[in-house]
Amino acid sequence: MCLHTYQCFQDVHVMIFVGFGFLMTFLQRYGFSSVGFNFLIAAFSLQWATLMQGFFHGMHHGKIHVGVTSMINADFCTGSVLISFGAVLGKTSPVQLLVMAIFEVTLFAVNEFILLTILGANDAGGSMTIHTFGAYFGLVVTRVLYRPNLDKSKHRNSSVYHSDLFAMIGTIYLWMFWPSFNSAITNYGDPQHRTAMNTYYSLASCTLATFAFSALVNPEGKLDMVHIQNAALAGGVAVGTAGEMMLTPFGSMIVGFLAGTISVLGYKYLTPVLESKLKIQDTCGIHNLHGMPGVLGAVVGAVTSALASPAVYGNGLQRVFADGEPGEWNAQSRGGFQAISLVVTLGMALIGGLVTGFILKLPIYGAPPDTHCFEDGLYWEVPGEEEGHHELNEVATPNETEKLNS
């Protein structure tokens, strides 16, 4: 075990449990559930992922080989589940989330095996296997679980000052550790250094684009904290596939700028259309942070692979591409396999999400009613509040509230 590998594992682990957990605390009355259910799902998923990934590509002499690398891969799989969790946040019970994790982890392992082993695709940072798969799986699940009367909980589906501040804690953790996330399982040496560097510059450029376009799309020129919390991370998603390739700092910054731009525009203009026209109730906007940037990352990876050559990579070609023998290298074929991998991922996510969504729709999991979504009090003992007291305060007039408090 390389000490650097364990350090990358620690960084990825922090992203899964602290980064993702706090990123979802923007809902004013769902902070306990955001962090707590994230904790629950992650602890379950990493164990199930160890088994599923082991069955498909971790068997040695009939036994599953475990180590720091398998721990990182299990965390990657868990990250995909937590992305899907963002789409159904506040509208599902803990049992539903665990059942979703069972199916998603299994399908993730199958998709990962097809892409990395059968097709030989490059996707060290998971633009396809983690982000695209998790986003579109979650979007289809939330579409199947569509709630026509969710407006009854609309007053809770919003943030307050301190909840947005807590969410920014998650953003900063994710932003800082994303270079480790993308480079954790790349080959040691130049490929790993390139991945960290490309992610570093992409994130920086993405953040500038996010601030710029957030102000531009606001008639008053003010910044929207939703954009800053989420779109600033899209640059890390978009270089996940091509990070270890010769993208160069300039290319990375272009990719990051595009990712931040489409993410902000998605939050501003596309999310309302998805909800009103396609009935996709995406609580966290995962389509804008993980879906579109993930597809962008897959396209960038395919193009960069198709342009790769021994003249550019020298002896390092085979360290990036497993089939990169100079005499046998076919860049166009490699780019084609990368594009096919994106299509396979989208197919697996859409079909898998559809089946899982209908399973979760069965009335046996204790899903919250439309009137009590985005509410911690259903599942947690909330200190300082008597049962039902906060519900009265939400609908009472100021005079009635004063009488209740007295």
DSSP state of 369: P
What is the predicted pLDDT for the residue at 330?
84
What is the predicted pLDDT for the residue at 402?
42
What is the longest distance spanned by two Cα atoms in the chain?
Answer: 84
SS3 63: strand
What is the predicted pLDDT for the residue at 324?
59
What is the predicted pLDDT for the residue at 326?
59
pLDDT tens string 46-69: 999 999 999 998 888 889 999 999
What is the predicted pLDDT for the residue at 388?
46
What is the predicted pLDDT for the residue at 128?
98
- SS3 breakdown of the chain: % helix, strand, coil, rounded to 5? 70, 0, 25
Going along the chain from its start, the domains and CATH numbers come out as 3-374 (1.10.3430.10)
- Round to whole Å and give the CA distance between 239 and 180: 13
SS3 59: strand
- Round to whole Å and give the CA distance between 365 and 44: 17
Check: CB of residue 25 under 8 Å from CB of residue 35: yes
The number of residues in the chain equals 406
What is the predicted pLDDT for the residue at 130?
98
Q: What is the CA radius of gyration of the chain?
A: 21
Residues of the chain with pLDDT under 50: 1, 387-406
Check: CB of residue 137 under 8 Å from CB of residue 107: yes
DSSP state of 397: -
pLDDT tens string 175-202: 999 999 999 999 888 999 999 999 999 9
Q: Which residues of 352-386 are buried (b: 16+ CB within 10 A; e: fewer)?
A: bbeebbebbeeeebebbeeeebbbbbebeebeeee
What is the predicted pLDDT for the residue at 323?
66
Residue 93 burial (10 A CB sphere; 0-12, 13-18, 19+): middle
Check: CB of residue 226 under 8 Å from CB of residue 278: no
Rounded to two decimals, the pTM is 0.92
Amino acid making up residue 313: Y
Check: CB of residue 286 under 8 Å from CB of residue 135: yes
